[in-house]
Amino acid sequence: MSELENRCLREIFVAQKLDAILIFGLPNIRYLSGFTGTDGVFLVGQTKSSFLTDSRYISQAQKQVRADVIQCYKNKLKAVADELLSNGYKRVGLDAEVVSVALFEELKALVGDSLEWCLLSKQLQPLRGVKTKDELVSLQAAADLNFKAFQSVLPMFRPGVTELEIAQELEFSLKRLGGEANAFDFIVASGVRGALPHGVASAKQLQSGELVTIDFGTIVNGYHSDETVTLAIGNVDRNLRQIFDIVLEAHDSALEVIRPGLQISELDAVAREIIAHRGYGEYFGHGLGHGVGLEIHEYPAVSSRSDQCLVAGMVITIEPGIYISDTGGVRIEDTIVVTEEGYEKLTSIPKQFKQINL
């Protein structure tokens, strides 16, 4: 970047009185520079920027990166230090949540006392919080693949089919449709395993009378999809159906209040209070959702601990759940974009109660 085009980045420079920011985290490197490889360092200055990488990525970087590209021949950190010193920077920010203590100590030893470091953590988190139109196109494309893949796999949901078989077929279908990779390890949790919020697919067979929770996603142009569906295999008992209805009410009620300016903690409270009022508050232990973009979990966290407000352009999940040991569980999740008028869904699999008739 020859100019500080990102508002959040400009604000960090001013607030922290920085000459430059040194970026090691690959999602931020991709966002700021355009580089899609897996090894490099991006040095963002107020008037010029430099991207440093080795011979494996030099041709790729020269095509992708919007900055001066510098090839590192031996010690990459030494090349970074030389670039910092040659530009005469006095105060440099560092993405502290990504850089290890050992790497930081080595870098400090290379530059000596010639510059002052400013460790950035929470300051950088909002950098990718508001999505551009191009980002939303990729996020929508990834969400659309979820819908298509799920429809193709739906006939598999029968007693005797294993959770792993469903997860594998979802993966194959998403990749056939153009998905780059799994967004995360798919969760397929049936019966009592539904009480595991992160119950990745196992060899357990689906059985009649169970609920099964499927949480999956893919990647398109580096951007992730994330969606959770809970289905009934045949007839389920009244208790399981009641749990499902409560989670769906919490999910839908949270969606109804989304608007720019709303405190995120208040959004979380809408869903949480419905579940608690029905007597299941202790069984909803995680936050209501999270940001989605170049990472599957990114800013903002959608939880009771958040001190942020919703902003138009944020992409977040809404995913309340109830998880009861030895009984099972339900989670229902959509990914949405906050708009000036409220919200729009990116994911589109129907979330109302669905029973697979046997």
CATH class of the structural domain 7-127: alpha beta
Note the pLDDT of residue 2: 37
**Which residue stretches of the chain have pLDDT < 50?**
1-4
Can you tell me the distance from the alpha carbon of 33 to that of 338, in angstroms, rounded to the nearest whole number?
26
Domain assignments of the chain as residue spans, ordered by start? 7-127, 133-356
Q: Which listed CATH number (3.90.230.10, 3.40.50.2300, 3.90.420.10, 3.40.50.300) goes with 133-356?
A: 3.90.230.10
Note the pLDDT of residue 8: 87
Can you tell me the distance from the alpha carbon of 340 to that of 336, in angstroms, rounded to the nearest whole number?
13
CB 92 within 8 A of CB 20: yes
Note the pLDDT of residue 7: 81
CB 228 within 8 A of CB 214: yes
Note the pLDDT of residue 38: 94
Output the six-digit token pair for 263. Answer: 């405190």
Can you tell me the distance from the alpha carbon of 336 to that of 338, in angstroms, rounded to the nearest whole number?
6
Residue whose entry in the numeric block shows the structure tokens 């360092």:
41
Note the pLDDT of residue 1: 36
Q: Give the 3-state secondary structure of residue 211.
A: strand
CB 290 within 8 A of CB 301: yes
Question: In the Cβ-directed half-sphere of 195, how many Cα atoms lie within 13 Å?
Answer: 11
pTM of the entire structure? 0.95
CB 37 within 8 A of CB 55: no
Partner residues linked to 42 by β-bridges: 23, 51
pLDDT digit string, tens, across residues 146-181: 999 999 999 999 999 999 999 999 999 999 999 999
pLDDT digit string, tens, across residues 18-34: 999 999 999 999 999 99
Which residues fall within 8 angstroms of residue 134, CB to CB, at 6 or more apart?
none
Identify how many contiguous H helices and E strands the chain contains and give both numbers. 9, 19
